[in-house]
Amino acid sequence: MIGQRALVALALAAGALAGTLYYIGAQRSPIVVAARDVDATHPLVADDLAIVSIAADAVPAGALVDANAAVGKVPRAPLWRGQVVLSPALSDDAASFHTGLALPRSMRAVALPLSSAAQAVGGAIVPGARVDVIAVPIAGRAPGGRTTELLLQGAMVLDVRSETGSPYGAALSKSPVSTVGERIGSVVVAIDALDEVRFADRIATSMFVLALAESR
């Protein structure tokens, strides 16, 4: 008799545990996601956002649960449709470039023209990288006696542009492969304000070679 009671109690306990686990697993939490592909150049509006429900234990840290908290904020990087919107990924200020990278305070952005991918580590330069900028004088343009010089070390790459001036690679493409036939036209880097005039002169009289530098 005692054994039967123990078995009944064990069965009831197991049932209660199973019910509790099912209840916990069935709990859903609302979170904010991107309703469509969004670039990083404008503040979010209500139509950019949607609410979906996912398992409570799958909600990532920083996920927003109220779309109103994201309206008016600017993504630090492009958002894909269905991507969870995280609070740390939003800013009060617009990013300077479609990449979501912002120009550091007191710095200036300058586009260095490139005529081939070989000047940009075979086209491997991407926004966010650090590069050394080498200027090679062009015969007939540069003053006589000027030699190849290291203009800048560890400069931040803010953007990479194609020959047409558009972002190199589709702005919202999810593929790392750029458009067939597209060529790099320039690389935008951050420079000190005091270097503006010097870089303006070198752009008119030099070709540039970029070397990847160690990230800071």
Domain ranges of the chain: 26-91, 107-212
Q: Is the pLDDT of residue 171 over 70?
A: no
Classify residue 151 as left (phi > 0), alpha (psi -120 to 50) or beta. Answer: alpha
The more confidently predicted of residues 18 and 32 is 32
The more confidently predicted of residues 25 and 72 is 72
Q: What global pTM score does this model have?
A: 0.56
Scored b (16 or more CB within 10 A) or e, 140-156 reads: eebeeeeeeeebbeebb
Domain 26-91 in CATH 3.40.50.2300: no
The more confidently predicted of residues 151 and 27 is 151
Q: Is the pLDDT of residue 123 over 70?
A: yes
Q: What count of Cα atoms within 13 Å lies in the side-chain half-sphere of residue 104?
A: 11
Average pLDDT over residues 167-171: 62
State the pLDDT at residue 11.
64
Q: In this structure, what token pair is assigned to residue 204? A: 């008119």
Q: Is the pLDDT of residue 12 over 70?
A: no
Which residue in the block uniquely carries the two structure tokens 């070989």? 118
Average pLDDT over residues 25-30: 74
Residue 5's pLDDT band (cuts 50, 70, 90): low
Name the nearest CA neighbour of 65 among 78, 47, 77, 53.
Answer: 53
Neighbouring C-beta atoms of residue 3, cutoff 10 Å: 7
